[in-house]
Amino acid sequence: MAKRLPLILLLWLITDIYFYHAVQTVFGVNSYTSLYWLIDATLMGGLLAALFVKRGTGTQQNLITWMMSGMLLAFVPRLVALPVLLLEDAGRLFRGFPPHALWVGELALVIAAVMFVIVLFGITRGRHFYQVRREIIAFPDLPEAFDGFKITQITDVHSGSFTDAKGVQKGLDLVNAQNSDVILFTGDLVNNKASEMDPWIKAFSGLKARLGKFSVLGNHDYGDYIRWDSPEEKKANLSRLKEVHNEMGFRLLLDEAVDLKAGAEKISLLGVENWGKGGFHKYGNLQKATANVADDDFKILMSHDPSHWEGVTLDHDKRVHLTLSGHTHGMQFGIDVFGFKWSPIKYVYKQWAGLYENAGRYLYVNRGFGFLGLKGRIGMWPEIAVITLKRA
């Protein structure tokens, strides 16, 4: 975050100064314009303060969460309204720069106000605005007994961010309402510490599926993002988190495979530890996970980070038919309507939300159940994915 701070502050300042002209045109120079700069100063001060609080503490996490929410409320509406002001200035350039038109300033403020309401909804209600997304995927070599097999996938719970028990339960009830054959969880149960799950174990234990519940670890589950008093403490935290999966009734797969059986037929469910591109740790070992799996078995893989699909899975010598991932959250911000989806995260991850296919091998990237950093979701609502397998 510290490395990106100068760029963040520069963009913030440029947008603020530009949008200020619209505020000044409509209201003049008075208490409204003073409040404009007071809000900015408060948010920037809070952002800077977050850098000097002990990393990984609850205080730092809460401060960052609230500052990000405030920044989005202040910044996004101004940014969306900015093109109106830019177009006006483009016209003024050829007219000798006459004074700003009042109606243009008013239009910019109306656009910003509408966007403010949208962002406010995302922060106050969006975090539990769960959406059930359904996919039907056909495979010619799917065992006949698994024709119609239904998977419910959730991912990126980030329980340390939860504060609303009723909101969380609403999502869990939706998961159970799908009556799926299996429930698969693809990592990031916590933000940093296993203890974050203590208030939620009972609720997640209530999830039910005919053939059981299975899970893998995500990058946040290893405790790599906070300082520990000793390596032993960090190791104990991970051990405790693995116990939590068991207490919730989930079979945690650590570079291993299990058979899901229907009559005399079966499919192989694989789970690997986290493997990410760039600076992310590459704990996962797909070779180990497939060691006892036959080449011609139908295979479903749980792998938290979608970059693992192109980085390892597609080139693996044993064909993996379907990979389920999460990790991106859809950045918790974007547009996702009527089949069109966009989020800034697409410039970081090639596969970031929804279904992808390569030579008959599929990847589904879930947008996530929980939230991290931003205390909400704007346009990229929390997801419960229901995938039905069909025999082609």
44 within 8 A of 68, measured Cβ to Cβ: no
Residue ranges per structural domain of the chain: 5-124, 131-391
137 within 8 A of 355, measured Cβ to Cβ: yes
Over 70: is that where the pLDDT of 4 sits?
no
Which one-letter amino acid corresponds to residue 373? G
CA–chain centroid gap for 160, Å, is: 14
Q: Is the dihedral of CA 285, 349, 336, 220 positive or negative?
A: positive
pLDDT the model gives residue 280 = 94
Q: Are strands 182-185 and 149-154 parallel, antiparallel or unpaired?
A: parallel
Per residue in 249-268, pLDDT (tens digit) is 999 999 999 999 999 999 99
- Reported as type and span, the H/E element at residue 153 is strand 149-154
Exposure letters 149-178 (e unless 16+ CB within 10 A, then b): bbbbbbbbbbbbbbeeeeebeebbebbeeb
- State the Cα–Cα distance between residues 137 and 298, nearest whole angstrom: 13
Quote the Cα angle for 252-380-20, to 5°: 135
268 within 8 A of 286, measured Cβ to Cβ: no
Per residue in 161-216, pLDDT (tens digit) is 999 999 999 999 999 999 999 999 999 999 999 999 999 999 999 999 999 999 99
136 token code pair: 């039907």
Diameter over CA atoms, the chain: 82
Q: Is 178 left (phi over 0), alpha (psi -120 to 50) or beta?
A: alpha
Residues 6+ apart with CB under 8 A from 35: none
Q: Higher-confidence residue: 61 or 215? A: 215
Q: Are strands 299-302 and 265-271 parallel, antiparallel or unpaired?
A: parallel
Per residue in 81-129, pLDDT (tens digit) is 888 888 888 888 888 888 888 888 889 889 999 999 999 999 999 999 9
Per residue in 322-378, pLDDT (tens digit) is 999 999 999 999 999 998 999 999 999 999 999 999 999 999 999 999 999 888 999
Confidence of residue 55 (pLDDT cuts 50, 70, 90): low
271 within 8 A of 216, measured Cβ to Cβ: yes
This prediction's pTM: 0.87
Exposure letters 274-301 (e unless 16+ CB within 10 A, then b): bbbeeebeebbbbeebbeebeeebbbbb
Q: pLDDT exceeding 70 applies to what percent of the chain? A: 94
Over 60: is that where the pLDDT of 1 sits?
no
Q: Which residue has the tokens 């309401």?
A: 117
Exposure letters 39-71 (e unless 16+ CB within 10 A, then b): ebeebbebbeebeeeeebeeebbebbbebbbbb
70 within 8 A of 38, measured Cβ to Cβ: no
CATH, range 131-391: 3.60.21.10
